Structure 1
Amino acid sequence: MQFIEVPEGKKVYFASDNHLGAPTMEHSYPREKKFVAWLDEIKTDAAAIFLLGDMFDFWMEYKTVVPKGFTRTLGKLAEIADSGIPIYYFVGNHDLWMNGYFEEELGIPVFHSPQQFTFNDTSFFIGHGDGLGPGDKGYKRMKKVFTNPFSKWLFRWLHPDLGVRLAQYLSVKNKLISGDDDAQFLGEDNEWLVQYAKRKLEKDHYDYFVFGHRHLPLDITLSEKSKYINTGDWISYYTYGVFDGEKMNLKEYTILK
């Protein structure tokens, strides 16, 4: 359990699922500019920033190469981290293959599994959300292949121009990989992350479960003292979560929309 103090007047921000680079770099450029504008705005009162995965539609770190592009986003994150505001990154199903670049170049810790945080007196369980809960068996099998060390070793033997192009094609075309379910609310009984959170509550209490992955802004009451929040995406909704030291809310970023 990690503790972060949120001073009066400061906030903790959460965002996920930008999928920069999809369907092409040119098409995602306006969304990137909007995201960078949001980062520039929230840095004035941020106690911490949590990025909950799939910021890129594909991200692969070779030994000496990372994907081309995203300069404005990476530069803004570096600026914010250098100013002393902590940023935390949770890998998603589109950026599974992170391996030190964010930590070494940006000073941003990267998590490959959900983590527990406490902000002041409020407990959080935070992650991207892919592969959690019942169901989603096809993706879970695929994830085991993607995260297998031998699979990653084989992929790195592809020239980056070929490897990145192939991965980008699969990322856009294959719903099994993308986790895309047409972004429709399935009802609490069929939302896997809701069911996952309810099962976690049977053993431990958390005030908030915060995930991405579903591309839907959701605020669901799990019990009298616990909520499930999904941060939505920066493709259709431009939504984000904000914790003001006492309560967590979903908001929409409308500037430059």
Structure 2
Amino acid sequence: MISITTSENKKVYFASDQHFGAPTPEASFPREKKFVAWLDEVKKDAEAIFLLGDLFDFWFEYKTVVPKGFVRVLGKLAEIRDSGIPIYFFIGNHDLWMNDYFEKELNIPVYHEPQEFIINNKKFLIGHGDGLGPGDHGYKRMKKVFTFPLFKWMFRWLHPDIGVSLGHYMSVKNKLISGDDDAKYLGDENEWLVLYCKEKLTKQHYDYFVFGHRHLPLEIKLKENSTYINLGDWIQYFTYGEFKDSFKLLQDK
């Protein structure tokens, strides 16, 4: 378990679900510039930065090829990491085919499952959030197929021009990206991540659960000293998390 203690005037930042490349590279370019400007701002006082998945709307790593584009974001992440600020990346359901590119090229660790962190003596469980809790059985079956080694091996044999185009086409069919307003609060009893967090609390204590995936900025008290945070997205809300002594869910202006 990684422990982080912020220095004086330093903070820990969290962001998720940028989906760069959707619905088209041209349409997402202003959002990419906005996010890079945000990274430029938070690097001034960041102790660490957590990116909780779906940074790209589609990502697949061939052995010698990665998808074209996103150079401003990748360059800014490299600059921040080279300055000594730790960055932690959690894969999402749109970039679940990420392997070691971030680790080798950017020195950014990549996590495929939720992880525990201690930040200023508070216990966090952090992840993207897809496939957790009850329900969502269709996606859980799909994820098993997409992450099956044979399927990935077969997809890798597609020429990158075909594979990336196909992957991008399938990815933008996601209703959250295509514009259908499915990201609505369903009530605690129907929020799978809330149920997942409550189940976790029956086994051990966490001060904060921090996830993305839902595309809704949410802050829900689970117990007096335990809170579930959903970071929202950088498509509609442009929200992010900030932590020093307490967690703040903020909106980039």
Scaled by the length of structure 1, what TM-score is found? 0.96
Equivalence for 1:100: 100
Identify the residue that residue 162 of structure 1 maps to in structure 2.
162
Secondary structure of 1:209's counterpart equals: strand
Structure-1 separation of matches of 2:126 and 2:181: 22
- Report the counterpart of residue 173 of structure 1 in structure 2: 173
Tell me what 1:200 maps to. 200
Equivalent in the alignment of 2:251: 252
Percent identity, please: 72
Whole-Å separation in 1 of the counterparts to 2:212 and 2:62: 26
Unaligned runs of 5+ in 1: none
Cα deviation, residue 181, structure 1: 7.0
Distance 1:209 1:181 in 2: 25
Q: Residues 1-257 of structure 1: matches in 2 within 5 Å?
A: 1-175=1-175, 182-244=182-244, 246-254=245-253
Whether the aligned pair in 1 keeps the contact of 2:81 and 2:108 (CA below 8 Å) is: yes
TM-superposition CA deviations, 1:24-70 (whole Å, max 9, x none): 00000000000000000000000000000000000000000000000
Counterpart amino acid of residue 247 in structure 1 = S
8 Å Cα contact 1:146-1:152 kept in structure 2: yes
Cα separation, 2, equivalents of 1:160 and 1:236: 30
2:250 corresponds to which letter in structure 1? K
Whole-angstrom CA distance in 1 between matches of 2:240 and 2:106: 22
1:185 is matched by which residue type in structure 2?
Y
The amino acid of 2:230's aligned partner reads N
Structure 1 residues 130 and 238, CA, compared in 2 at 3 Å: closer, same or farther?
same
Contact 1:170 1:177 (C-alpha < 8 Å) held by counterparts: no
Does the 8 A contact of 2:133 with 2:196 survive in 1? yes
Q: Which runs of 5+ in 2 are unaligned?
A: none
Q: How many residues align?
A: 252
Question: For the residues of structure 1 that align with 2:72 and 2:174, how far apart are their CA atoms?
Answer: 28
- CA deviation after TM superposition for structure 1 residue 232, in Å: 0.3
How much does 1:8 deviate? 2.1
- 1:177 CA drift (Å): 11
Report the 3-state secondary structure (helix = DSSP H, G, I; strand = E; otherwise coil) of the residue aligned with 1:173: coil
Q: Deviations over 1:165-212 (max 9, x none)?
A: 10111111145999x871100011100000000000000100000000
Q: Moved runs in structure 1, 4+ residues, more than 6 A?
A: none
CA root-mean-square deviation: 1.4
Q: Could you state the TM-score of these two structures normalised by the residue count of structure 2?
A: 0.97
